[in-house]
Amino acid sequence: MTLLRRPGVALITLLFLLLGAAFLTQVVPYRQIIDSQRQVTSAQERLATLEAENEVLEAEVTALGTEEEIEKLAREKLGYVRPGETGYVVLDPPGGDAPAPTGEEAPVDEDRTWVDAIWEFITGEDLDSTG
């Protein structure tokens, strides 16, 4: 009965509920659109990388058709020498291939507030995946 006495309060409450529902129904599609755009951008970058790698491989295939490249690979990989030449093998010292530990850890963002987390959710920044 108190709502009927104050129709302005009921109208404002209803308006806020409708605006909140409209906002929430638009957040999910907006996030999906942002995620789709990021996936397209990632796929285009991967395509460009693969095309560049493909060009390098095609150049190697073309080079393998020449006598000079075949001789070079035979000398490097198989240790072939021409008659009258002396072949030498240089060995690396033991333990020289072990990578040094970097000691880097993933940074922890302690300054992030709940407002930042909500904003990242709305803008889709939390969907960023490094893989």
- What is residue 113's DSSP assignment? -
- Most confident region among 22-26, 38-42, 114-118 by mean pLDDT: 38-42
Q: What is the pLDDT of residue 23?
A: 80
Residue 121 clears pLDDT 70, i.e. is over it: yes
Mean pLDDT of the chain: 82
The size of the chain, in residues, is 131
Residue 130 clears pLDDT 90, i.e. is over it: no
Decide which of 88 and 105 is more confident.
Answer: 88
Per the CB < 8 A criterion, the answer to whether 35 and 124 are in contact is yes
- What is residue 106's DSSP assignment? P
Alpha-carbon torsion, ordered 22, 25, 30, 33, to 10 deg:
-140
Range scoring the smallest mean pLDDT among 24-28, 40-44, 64-68, 98-102: 98-102
3-state secondary structure 42-97: HHHHHHHHHHHHHHHHHHHHHHCCCHHHHHHHHHHHHCCCCCCCCCCCCCCCCCCC
